[in-house]
Amino acid sequence: MIKDYFLNEIETAIEKAIKDGKLGEMKEYTRGTLSTERPKNVDFGDFAINVSSLARHARIAPPMIANTIVSYIVPEDNEYSVIGGFINFKTGKTLLKNTVAEIFKKDKNYGKPEKVKTEKIILEYVSANPTGPFHIGHGRWAAMGSVLANLLKFYGHEVYQEFYINDAGSQITKLGNSLAIRVRQQLGEDIDFPTDETERKNFYPGDYLIPVAKKYIEINKLTSLATCGRGNECEGYFDAKRLSDFAKAEMERLQKELLENFRVHFDNFYSELTLHKSGKVEECVQKLKDSGKIYQKDGADWFKSSDYGDDQDRVIKKADGSNTYLTADIAYHIDKLERGFDRMINIWGADHHGYVARVKASIEALGYDPNKLEILLGQLVNLVINGNEVRMGKRKNMVTLDDLIEEVGVDATRFWMAMRNIDTTLDFDIELAKTNSDENPVFYVQYAHARACSILRNATEEKLNTETGEKTPAPLSKTELDELINSYNPETILPTIESAKKLILKLEEYKSMIKMSAETRQVYTICRYVQELASEFHSFYNANRVISDDKEMMKARLALVVAVKKVLNNALDILAVTAPERM
RNA sequence: GCGUGUGUAGCUCAGUUGGAUAGAGCGUUUGGCUACGAACCAAAAGGUCGGGGGUUCGAAUCCCUCCACGCGUACCA
């Protein structure tokens, strides 16, 4: 990376200067103490390093230090200048030229780090209950998770994507009971969910179970309740487990279908139920008991999570003998570790914040390293309709992810869900996401890609004058364009290198953006970057005509267009947003 | 109350780990197509970085303290 090159030049110079005793009382320099930054004012340079912090050790004024350091540097065709304690750097043609060449050479792998400590990562996200359709909040985790998976894979890690199905516990009973009511309704019985609020909480009164009920009736060939005479097999169709199993399977099917449609691909759906059946949950409880971390109180078993930094101890087996949600979750995380993953990354909604400490505590209590678990807490999503916030989380007014995608499309939904810092509450404005105007960043970016494609098409197409019927030959033959791309010569870009400097630097920034994004797990930086790159490209396009009579200039600019297209493609691939050829 | 996140331009948000005159997009105003897609570009106006203290050469950034809002604070999942 150019900034690393610059930093290395400076650090080498400092070491030489110290050796010569030119930096006053400074006797040694440890690499990494200085870092590059972006100058506030673009006129200063492309990158800058502030050496003021060395003044304390050297006991020399910062400008003097800066000048001394610069005097030890061979600038090649780059430019170094000193203002106060800042050393500014202007990138020369060689580095710019090499950047474009690198894009052509590495192509799909442009931006992938050379050497990186790769890990075997299990990324868990969405993990919704199979009790209903996804709401828009799930959409945020789905989008962010899948982008993060793509990014980490690109970065070099081995990533295994998993969805934990909460298919055990009381909510499944609730689901079965709710389906029973819907089925009876469909069969003509005058029955409805309780109106009393506390009783109603034992049901899922949403409409989404109606089609499920219809399907249940159809498959089982039920005609009416009346035909279920006493003693015949009809009762069997209202068996609680039979109903809940059916509803659960149906919900899972719909969820999986939606995820695929939303370009989210899990390697595995891990059922909580199988975890119980395998005996792994009991095994974990036993291990905790053996290590003396369990005690009894009020008829329940408590885990001493407070020994490991949790606020208080947690119940692990209720007084009625059943397990809590946490119990299975402990076993699940231990199972992940036993499957040999170096790192577990979970994306959880901020409403699960209280769970972090207790799960980490359990991992530590069982003798594993809690630092292997990295939990990304995402703030929730607010839906904005006509400028008014519609709070999510409440069952009423629930907008499903399905509805949202149908309304605004997969591309826009993915982009909007991924474009904000995970720490901020996301306002999803449906009207804005739907527009095809400048207000919508997705279209802005896609337009840049379509524009690049369009230029490349025009370069090799003959032009027809509609009035005279006259044909002008194509500015460039297809073979020439193929040759330009496939056996790219680094010198090609030179004619336009001055006018394209900002754009090339932005292309170069892709590498540091990827690094930063992968290391901080913040995927929104990719969305920002892609907008910035599109902006630089549009700007370049308006200022410089690509197709012209000056063939060398045209080739230079076409090469740049190809480079932009490649990088946009790579970035959009990670976002799993389409890069259209035409719009 | 405690824990946690947020507070930056009219709106939505960045701010690369403490540095130069505070940065974008939208919105507003002005200008740019008989030329590669104007779904675009160029420019202007717009700020007490929630308030108040502190740390130091230097703070939107670190510490303290208030204020406002979201989320959590179950033997629910």
Nearest CA among A264, A29, A296 for reference residue A150: A264
Residue nearest to nucleotide B20 (CA to C1'): A40
3-state secondary structure of A91: coil
- Write the pLDDT tens digit of every residue in A47-104: 999 988 888 788 888 888 999 999 999 999 999 999 888 999 999 999 999 999 999 9
pTM over 0.90? The answer is: yes
3-state secondary structure of A381: strand
- Write the pLDDT tens digit of every residue in A414-444: 999 999 999 999 988 887 777 765 568 999 9
- Write the pLDDT tens digit of every residue in A238-290: 888 999 999 999 999 999 999 999 999 999 999 999 999 999 999 999 999 99
pLDDT of residue A314: 95
pLDDT of residue A399: 81
pLDDT of residue A438: 58
Q: How far is the CA of A10 from the C1' of B54 (A)?
A: 35
Single-letter amino acid, residue A456: L
Q: How far is the CA of A578 from the C1' of B75 (A)?
A: 49
How far is residue A8's CA from residue A184's CA, in Å, rounded to a whole number? 75
- Write the pLDDT tens digit of every residue in A517-538: 999 999 999 999 999 999 999 9
Instruction: Output the CA angle A32-A60-A69, nearest 5 degrees.
Output: 50
Nucleotide in closest CA–C1' contact with A545: B36
pLDDT exceeds cutoff 70 at A395? no
pLDDT exceeds cutoff 90 at A386? no
Q: How far is the CA of A395 from the C1' of B66 (A)?
A: 36
> Per mean pLDDT, which range of A34-38, A235-239, A436-440, A500-504 is the poorest?
A436-440
pLDDT of residue A300: 94
pLDDT class of A391 with cuts at 50, 70, 90: low
- Across all residues in chain A, what is the average pLDDT? 91
- Write the pLDDT tens digit of every residue in A304-362: 999 998 989 999 999 999 999 999 999 999 999 999 999 999 999 999 999 999 999 99
Q: How far is the CA of A553 from the C1' of B33 (A)?
A: 23
DSSP-assigned states of every residue in A504-516: HHHHHHHHHHHHH
> Per mean pLDDT, which range of A128-137, A292-301, A389-398 is the poorest?
A389-398
Q: How far is the CA of A444 from the C1' of B41 (A)?
A: 13
Query: What does the pLDDT average to over A122-136?
Result: 94
Single-letter amino acid, residue A384: V
- Angle in degrees, 0-180, between the axes of helices A170-186 and A240-261, rounded to the nearest 10: 100
Pair A324, A317: CB distance under 8 Å: yes
Residue nearest to nucleotide B70 (CA to C1'): A425
β A463-464/A36-37 pair status: unpaired
How far is residue A566's CA from residue A169's CA, in Å, rounded to a whole number? 49
Beta strands in A286-385 (DSSP E): 294-297, 300-303, 314-317, 343-349, 373-378, 381-385
Nearest CA among A436, A455, A432 for reference residue A444: A436
How far is residue A92's CA from residue A576's CA, in Å, rounded to a whole number? 35
Q: How many C-alpha atoms does A338 have within 13 Å on its Cβ side?
A: 11
pLDDT of residue A437: 57
How far is residue A360's CA from residue A562's CA, in Å, rounded to a whole number? 48
CA A109 to the chain's CA centroid = 19
Nucleotides of B under 7 A from a protein CB: 2-7, 12-17, 19-27, 32, 35-42, 57, 70-77
Pair A275, A328: CB distance under 8 Å: yes
How far is residue A170's CA from residue A476's CA, in Å, rounded to a whole number? 68
pLDDT class of A393 with cuts at 50, 70, 90: very low
pLDDT of residue A397: 53
pLDDT of residue A130: 94
pLDDT exceeds cutoff 50 at A166? yes
> Per mean pLDDT, which range of A133-147, A386-400, A446-460, A512-526 is the poorest?
A386-400
Q: How far is the CA of A379 from the C1' of B10 (A)?
A: 25
Nucleotide in closest CA–C1' contact with A558: B36
Q: With residue A284 as reference, give the H or E element that holds it.
A: helix A280-290
pLDDT of residue A235: 67
> Per mean pLDDT, which range of A129-133, A461-465, A476-480 is the poorest?
A461-465
